[in-house]
Structure 1
Amino acid sequence: MLALCILPLLLAQVQARMGEEPTAELSVRLYHQLQSEGTQNIVFSPVSVALALGLVELGARGSSLKEIRQAVGYSHLKPGEEFSLLENMTQQLTSDDSPCILRLANSLFLQTGVHFYPDFLQLAQKYFKAETETVDFGESAVVAQHINDWVENHTESKIRDLLSSEDFSSLTRLALVNAVYFRGSWKNQFRPENTRTFSFSKDDGTDVQTLMMYQQGDFYYGEFSDGSTEAGGVYQVLEMPYEGEDMSMMIVLPRQEVPLATLEPIIQAQLLDDWVANVKKQKVEVYLPRFKVEQKLDLRDTLQQLGIRNIFSKDADLSAMTDGKDLYISKAVQKAYLEVTEEGAEGAASSGMIALTRTLVLCPQVMADHPFFFFIRNRRTGSVLFMGRVMKPEVIEPNQHDFEGV
C-alpha cells in the first residue's frame, strides 16, 4: 500500500499599490469542507496540512496567527504549545522501529537577497526539521523544475510536476513545501488468487465493475449507531492493521441501501476516538475493492472556508518571518496519492454514539461494495496521515469471474 502527499505554500509580496494529538480536529473539518464541494473520491493528508500550517504559524502574528490557531483547533493550548506537539508527533511517526516506511520532509525555498529572521529559520529547523535553500523565483521555470525534483526525490517519484513556472513570479518570496510518503504491508495480506471481478454500487444507483479482494481473518470490528436514523441506522467500522501494528486503516461502511452522504454529517474528531476505542478483535469476512485515489487540491479556498483568510490577503501579518511588510500566501496546494492492493498500501501524500455488541456467533461480513469513508492513522499517537472516501474504485472491463466458490 502506498500513500503520499505533497503540499507547497507559496508566499508572495504584495505590489506597492496593494500531549495532545494535533491533527484530529483539522482532519474532520477539512473532510467536511471537501465533501461539501462534490461527489468525487477524496484523499488528503491532515498531517501534511498541519505541518505546513505550523511552518506558517511560526512566522505569523496578530490576527493571522489567531485565525490559524482557531481553525486548526489550538485555541485551548498555551501560545506556542502546538509546536512541541507537532515536533513530538513527527518524531514518533518517523521512528525507526516500525516495519512501515513513513517519511516526512519539509523545505523552505527562500528568495535570494531577501532577509529572513534567523530565529524563524532556526525554529523551523527545530520543530519541523525544515531544510532551507535560496533560489531566484524570477527564474520561474528553473525554480519549478528544482522544487518538482525535490518532491519526486521525497515521494519515490510518485508525485511529479506538482508546480509549474506559472506558480511563481518576481513577487514570490518563499515556498514552503511538505511531503509525506507512506508504504505499509497489511498484517494479514489478501491472497491475490481470491481477488475477483465484482459489482460496486455507486450512490447514484449505477454499478461499475471492479476488482474485489477477499479474506477471512482476525480484525478489529464493531457495529455502531448514533441512536437515531440520522446516520442511516447501524453502520460498520473495520480496523485493518499494517505489519507491526503501529499503523492501521479504518473503514467506515454504511448499510448497502444507505448513501455515504447520510453517514458523513456525524463524523467528528471525538467519534474517530470512539470508533478506535470500541472495535473488538474478532474473525471477520472482508470484501474490499482494490483502489487508487489521487487528488490535487487547491487548499486556498478550502482553508479560507475554515476561517484562515488573513494570510491569503494583503492584510496578512507574517512579520515574524521577515522585515518585509507585504508578504502573503499566494498559493496552497496539496497533491495526495493512495493505492490499496492485496499486499497493503502505498501513497504519497460523537455525540450520542452507541456501540452495539453482536449476539450472534456468525462471523461478521464487511462487504465494501458501495461507497465508504476511510482514514489511516498511527495507533500510538492517533495522528491521521490520510483521510478520504471511495465513491468509485478503479473500473475494469467485466469478465466471467465472480465470487462464486470463494
Structure 2
Amino acid sequence: MDPLAEANGTFALDLLKTLGKDNSKNLFFSPMSFSSALAMVFLGAKGNTAAQMAQVLSLNKSGDSRDVHQGFQSLLTEVNKTGTQYLLRTANRLFGEQSCDFLSTFKDACRKFYHAEMEELDFVSAAKESRNHINTWVAEKTEGKIVELLSPDAVNSLTNLVLVNAIYFKGNWDKQFNKQQTKERPFKVSKNEQKPVQMMFKKSTFKMTYIGEIFTQILVLPYVGKELNMIIMLPDENTDLRTVEKEITYEKFIDWTRPDMMDEEEVEVFLPRFKLEENYDMKNVLCSMGMSDAFEPGADFSGMSSKRGLFLSKVVHKSFVDVNEEGTEAAAATAAVMMLRCARISPRFCADHPFLFFIQHCKTNGILFCGRFSSP
C-alpha cells in the first residue's frame, strides 16, 4: 500500500470520527485537500511541533519527510489535472503577517510541492482589508461557490499565520437518475423521527457488496469518466451508523471496497437528493487530535521564518457538495434498453436512513471527500 495514501486515508477516518462525535449532524469535508494544506505547514515545522503534526497526519508512517512532500506533489498533480470530465477546484494558501519575514526556501517549497503560494499581508494595521482579500481570493478559486470563508472576527491585528483551504467539486453520474422518477419519500432520521426528502431512483447495474461484520451494504456509484466514485455505506435499518464509524479503519475501508470483492449486479437504488455546505474551524479539532503546539506562541516554525513566536492563528476548512440526478444522456439512453430485458427481481439499496459516503479518486485510491448524511 502506498504510504502516503495510507497516511491520508488514516487521517481522513480519524477526522471523520473526531468531527462526527455529535452523532446527529451531517458532515462533509475534504480530507485530501485538508491534509495537503496542513502538510504545507508541516514543511516549515521543526522539533516537537513537527512531531505532533506528523503523528496527527499519520505521516510518521511515510518515511522521510522529503518523500512526503514529493508524494503530495504527484498526488495533487494527478487529482487536479486538466481534461477530466469532473470539475475539482482546490484553494490552498498560507497567509502570513508581513513582518514575520518568511524564508524564501519555504516559499519556494510551497510553490513546488503544493502548487500554493505563501502570501504576506499586513494583519497588524489592515486586518479587515486582509480578511476581504483572503475571502475574494477563495471565491475566485472555487467558481464563486465558497464566499465569506473568514467571518469578521476571524482575523485581527494579532493574527500572524492563517491557513486557508477550500475545495469545490462537481461531477456528473456515469448513469443518470431520471428526474421524473424522483419522488418525495420519508427519510428516517431516527427511530422516532422522519423527514421528507426528494428521493432519486435508478435501476441499473452497479458494484455492490454486503459486509456482515457491520451489517452494512456498500454501493459504488461511478462518475462520468470513471475516474471518481461515490462509495455509500448504508447500515441495515436496525444498525446504528455509529457502529460503522467505530469499526472503520483505512485498512478495512480498502478491504471492504476492493473491486474484486464486489458483485456487479442489477440493483434498484434509492438515494436522496441533497446539498451540504459545511464550514469548520479546525483549531479545536486538531488540538483534540494531538496537534496543540502549532497553535501556541512557543510553536517551532523555524523552517518558515527566522522570527520567533510565529504560530498558527486560524485554520478554516469549507466544503460544498450537491448530489442530484444529473448525468450524461448517452448513458441514460443505453440503460433504458437493458431495463426492458431484465424482468428478474433486483436487490434494493434504499438510502432512506443515515449513511456515510466517500468520493474516491480511483487511480490513487485517495479519499477526496468524506460525508455523513443523517438529516435532510
TM-score relative to the length of structure 2 = 0.90
- Which structure has more RCO (C-alpha within 8 Å, separation ≥ 6)? 1
Secondary structure of 1:23's counterpart equals helix
Q: Distance in 2 between matches of 1:181 and 1:209?
A: 27
> Is 1:252–1:374's contact at 8 Å kept on the other side of the alignment?
yes
Deviations 1:118-148 (A, max 9, x none): 1101100110011243321131111111111
Residue identity matched to 2:39: G
Deviations 1:207-259 (A, max 9, x none): 11110000101111001112xxxx3xx31000000000000100000112222
Residue identity matched to 1:197: E
Q: Which residue of 2 aligns with 1:144?
A: 131
Moved more, 187-196 or 161-170: 161-170
Secondary structure of 1:172's counterpart equals coil
Moved more, 143-152 or 273-282: 273-282
Query: Is 1:195 aligned with 2:151?
Result: no
> Is 2:166–2:319's contact at 8 Å kept on the other side of the alignment?
no
Deviation at residue 178 of structure 1 after TM alignment = 2.4
> Is 2:91–2:138's contact at 8 Å kept on the other side of the alignment?
no
- Percent identical among aligned pairs is 33
Q: Distance in 1 between matches of 2:241 and 2:152?
A: 39
Secondary structure of 1:87's counterpart equals helix
> Is 1:90–1:104's contact at 8 Å kept on the other side of the alignment?
no
Q: Distance in 1 between matches of 2:264 and 2:86?
A: 21
Secondary structure of 1:325's counterpart equals coil
Q: Which residue of 1 aligns with 2:297?
A: 314
Deviations 1:155-201 (A, max 9, x none): 11111111134222222223232232211000001000000010111
Residue identity matched to 1:150: W
Structure 1: tracts of 5 or more residues without a match = 1-18, 345-360, 394-406
Query: Is 1:121 aligned with 2:107?
Result: yes
Query: Is 1:63 aligned with 2:44?
Result: no
Q: Distance in 1 between matches of 2:170 and 2:238?
A: 33
Q: Distance in 2 between matches of 1:190 and 1:90?
A: 31
Deviation at residue 71 of structure 1 after TM alignment = 1.3
Q: Distance in 2 between matches of 1:223 and 1:364?
A: 12
The one of 247, 263, 268 aligned to 1:285: 268
Deviations 1:316-353 (A, max 9, x none): 11111001110111222212221100016xxxxxxxxx
RMSD: 1.5
Query: Is 1:25 aligned with 2:10?
Result: yes
Q: Distance in 2 between matches of 1:207 and 1:139?
A: 49
Show structure 1 runs of 4+ deviating over 6 A.
Answer: none
Q: Distance in 1 between matches of 2:94 and 2:196?
A: 44
> Is 1:203–1:260's contact at 8 Å kept on the other side of the alignment?
no
The one of 303, 308, 312 aligned to 2:286: 303
Q: Which residue of 2 aligns with 1:366?
A: 349
Q: Distance in 2 between matches of 1:176 and 1:127?
A: 16
Q: Distance in 1 between matches of 2:46 and 2:191?
A: 47
TM-score relative to the length of structure 1 = 0.84
> Is 2:187–2:352's contact at 8 Å kept on the other side of the alignment?
yes
Q: Which residue of 1 aligns with 2:371?
A: 388
Deviation at residue 286 of structure 1 after TM alignment = 0.2
Secondary structure of 2:238's counterpart equals coil
Q: Distance in 2 between matches of 1:302 and 1:270?
A: 23
